[in-house]
Amino acid sequence: MLQKSNLHHAILSKVPEYFEERGFQNPVDTFDGPFQFAMRTRLYYFDWLKSQPWYQSAFNTVMGIQRMNRGEEWFEFYPVKDRLRAGSSETLLVDVGGGLGHDLLAFKKPFPELPGKLIVQDLPVFIDDVKDLPFGIEAMKHDFFTPQPVRYANAYHLRTVLHDWPDKQAREILSNIRLAMNKQSILLINEDALPENNVPLYAAEPDISMMAAFSSLDRA
């Protein structure tokens, strides 16, 4: 966790210099933002992580810890039994960009009786670290910038995925999911939403972090 924090601080320390050099314009290019400026690379943040095994492992660990300690879960207030029914689809829920599967593990505990497969999708660097998933949960290697291979699932879930990408790439991610949906499919977008004004400090900090690392934002 310390190393990940050090990386974060290294990026943020270069943000003022980045803005001065770019005429104080908000970054919009995910391949040419404060992260690339600080690390002297043209790689996207996650592509750079793949070239740094220690940082990648630390990132996976930290994300797992954060996912286990985040308060109320979406399925505790969403009407799961009314809305999420496998019906004609053999797949109940696809967690797109779901990392190591923590969300689906948490989801399955209170709803073990719901029929249909649960599928966690992510890049190989994450899926290769997935271990000991219970029956009913599958891990699938998938790049969400390519066509969604699971068609007509009951629901597709995105948790803190879109805030890693500027609008152009976010639209591509959503488009690939849309093309896999049918009229009964549901898209669940699970993101922090910020007010237009008077944003609290604790909410503004992640927004700044998204800008620095991904040229993106926590959207209003």
**Structural domains in the chain?**
2-69 (no CATH), 74-190 (3.40.50.150)
Q: For residue 142, indicate whether it is catalytic.
A: no
Question: How far is 96 from 34, CA to CA, in rounded Å?
Answer: 26
pLDDT given at position 147: 98
| Strand order, beta sheet including 91-96 | 137-141, 117-122, 91-96, 155-159, 186-190
Q: Which of 102, 142, 157, 163 is catalytic?
A: 163
CB atoms within 10 A of CB 134: 12
This prediction has a pTM of: 0.84
pLDDT given at position 177: 99
Characterise 99 by phi-psi region: left (phi > 0), alpha (psi -120 to 50), beta (else). left
pLDDT given at position 68: 57
> Which candidate, 49, 210, 31, places its Cα nearest to that of 129?
49
pLDDT given at position 161: 95
Q: Hey, what are 25's tokens?
A: 């314009």
pLDDT given at position 197: 87
DSSP symbols for 112-161: TT--SEEEEEE-HHHHTT---PPTTEEEEE--TTS--SS-S-SEEEEES-
List residues bridging with 93 in a β-sheet.
Answer: 118, 155
Question: How far is 60 from 50, CA to CA, in rounded Å?
Answer: 11
Find the angle CA(159)-CA(162)-CA(166) to the nearest 5 degrees.
165
pLDDT given at position 217: 85
Contact status, residue 168 vs residue 160, Cβ threshold 8 Å: no
**Radius of gyration of the CA atoms of the chain, in A:** 18
Distance of CA 185 to the CA centre of its chain: 20
Instruction: Give me the average pLDDT of each 10-residue run along the chain (220 residues).
Output: 66 95 92 94 90 82 65 91 77 95 94 93 92 93 98 96 92 98 95 87 87 86
Contact status, residue 117 vs residue 135, Cβ threshold 8 Å: no
